[in-house]
Amino acid sequence: TGYVTLDSGYKNTGATKSAITFLDGEEGILRYRGYPIEQLAEKSSFLEVAYLLIYGALPTQSEFDSFRHQITQHTLIHEDIRKILDGFPSSAHPMGILSSLVCSLTAFYPKSIAPEISKEELNLNIVRLMAKISTIAAWSYKNSVGHPLIYPRNDLDYCANFLYMMFSFPTEKYEINPVVVSALNKLLILHADHEQNCSTSTVRLVGSANASLYGSVSAGINALWGPLHGGANQEVVEMLEAIQADGGNTQKWVDKAKDKNDSFRLMGFGHRVYKNFDPRAKIIKKAADEVLNALGINDPLLKIAGELEQAALTDPYFVERKLYPNVDFYSGIIYRALGIPTEMFTVLFAMGRLPGWIAQWKEMRENKEPIGRPRQIYTGELQRDYQEISAR
Ligand code: CMC
């Protein structure tokens, strides 16, 4: 009924009020709960930022200790979930495994589906999800390479434990490299929330039907997998590798991206909201240099990325359309330096984005928002009479 405004892709439609993340695309400002992303990336840890996003304030020492302790206590996953994992082929993309196993948590914790869950039960779901996602993520990788699964170690902090489950073997002693742990913390912080992006809107929309937190987040993971969204970080590195194999002619690839008869886009470039620069890309570019230096790695893809960026930034096509490198442009270079395989890049993005999805889902429920249900403008046949199949 009434008047419907069409806004494809919701370019100018606000779907909610939110007190979580402030983003100014013209000025390149990003703040979580009021704190500038630059300060958080420099000084905080991923778990502290997760607490901030989900509960609205930086934790006191005892609040933080309790949050961290609870998460540590829930890193094990049910052995029957392991059996589900065993059923996946080793060729399965880890994002498919991640979304499936996160969704399977609804079956193992059925109370999470009740529309009215207590505050305690909700907190338990939050803690479980934060804890188990890192085990599921690491195991999805182990599955893809056919290596034995490594169980979590509760004496390690969040990022170190994830790296341990990813890279250690039962036969060898695993040395944790603090440079790698700190880089991972920074990357996860930078991805932790980004207001009403595609996957977050998905989480809110699914959750608005009173669906469970696990089911809503699983839907968000699938949205994030798309190459126009989080899947871009994998695509960036694959693009840089293709440019390298093609002789390193970056101008040729910039021209290809400009060609309207070619569907190719420069991956890691452009953003719906940022029109001058993406503050996350600035931090990541600097971090990429630092991490590669600290680890003594000389990655030729970093040079190609720099040349490609320069070629695009000085090209009128990209200038006129205000297309700048986004968060995904340099993150893959760091992931590579940390030894993370390309297929795992988007999984890392999902781990980082999880506290944002949880915070947004929780806020929506607390604000008692109505079920999400966009309208449409119908363009089909007005009315027709049914004809028997023999008469068509
Ligand atoms: N390469 C070439 N042309 C581009 C690109 C690109 N990467 N991005 C946008 N354009 C052009 C587009 O063809 C259009 O041109 P015209 O006006 O001539 O039709 C114009 O710029 C505006 O683009 P749009 O598609 O209308 O912009 P949007 O806000 O709908 O899309 C975007 C934003 C991020 C989907 C898009 O810029 C894109 O596809 N980028 C490449 C994929 C990517 O890096 N995604 C990661 C986004 S940031 C992290 C995340 O969300 O996960």
Provide the residue-wise pLDDT of the chain in tens; the chain has 392 residues: 578 999 999 999 999 999 999 999 999 999 999 999 999 999 999 999 999 999 999 999 999 999 999 999 999 999 999 999 999 999 999 999 999 999 999 999 988 877 788 999 999 999 999 999 999 999 999 999 999 999 999 999 999 999 999 999 989 888 999 999 999 999 999 999 999 999 999 999 999 999 999 999 999 999 999 999 998 998 999 999 999 999 999 999 999 999 999 999 999 999 999 998 999 999 999 998 889 999 999 999 999 999 999 999 999 999 999 999 999 999 989 999 999 999 999 999 999 999 999 999 999 999 999 999 999 999 999 999 999 999 99
Atom of ligand 1 at shortest range from CA of 194: 51
- What is the residue with the minimal CA distance to atom 27 of ligand 1? 272
Query: Rounded to a whole number, what is the distance in angstroms from the first to the last CA of the chain?
Result: 34
Ligand 1 neighbourhood includes 322 CB (under 6 angstroms): no
Name the residue type at position 115.
Answer: P
CB atoms within 10 A of CB 231: 20
- What is the residue with the minimal CA distance to atom 22 of ligand 1? 321
* pLDDT score of 117: 86
Ligand 1 neighbourhood includes 321 CB (under 6 angstroms): yes
Which value, in Å, is the radius of gyration of the alpha carbons in the chain? 22
* 223 phi, psi to nearest 5 deg: -65, -40
For ligand 1, the distance from its centroid to the CA atom of residue 228, given in whole angstroms, is 8
DSSP β-bridge partners for residue 29: 24
> What size, in residues, is the chain?
392
SS3 374: coil
82 is written with which tokens?
């392991």
9 is written with which tokens?
């892709």
* pLDDT score of 1: 56
Nearest by Cα to 205 from 98, 357, 347:
357
Ligand 1 neighbourhood includes 190 CB (under 6 angstroms): no
For ligand 1, the distance from its centroid to the CA atom of residue 286, given in whole angstroms, is 24
- What is the residue with the minimal CA distance to atom 46 of ligand 1? 229
Tens digits of residue pLDDT in 112-127: 877 788 999 999 999 9
For ligand 1, the distance from its centroid to the CA atom of residue 318, given in whole angstroms, is 10
Q: Are 257 and 243 in contact (CB under 8 A)?
A: no
CB burial of residue 139 (10 Å; 0-12, 13-18, 19+): buried
SS3 389: helix
Chain Cα centroid distance, residue 30: 16
DSSP β-bridge partners for residue 269: 325
Nearest by Cα to 233 from 127, 362, 353, 365:
353
101: which residues sit within 8 A by CB, 6+ positions away?
77, 81, 84, 85, 136, 140
What gap in Å lies between CA 160 and CA 181, rounded to an integer? 6
Catalytic (active-site) positions: 271, 328
**What is each CA distance from 101 to 24, 359, 361, in whole angstroms?**
35, 21, 19
Helices marked H in the chain? 37-43, 46-55, 61-73, 79-86, 94-108, 119-145, 158-167, 178-191, 198-207, 213-225, 232-245, 250-258, 279-295, 300-313, 316-320, 327-337, 345-366
* pLDDT score of 2: 74
What gap in Å lies between CA 292 and CA 295, rounded to an integer? 5
Q: Which pTM was predicted?
A: 0.94
What gap in Å lies between CA 312 and CA 245, rounded to an integer? 20
Q: Are 358 and 126 in contact (CB under 8 A)?
A: yes
Nearest by Cα to 185 from 159, 157, 163:
159
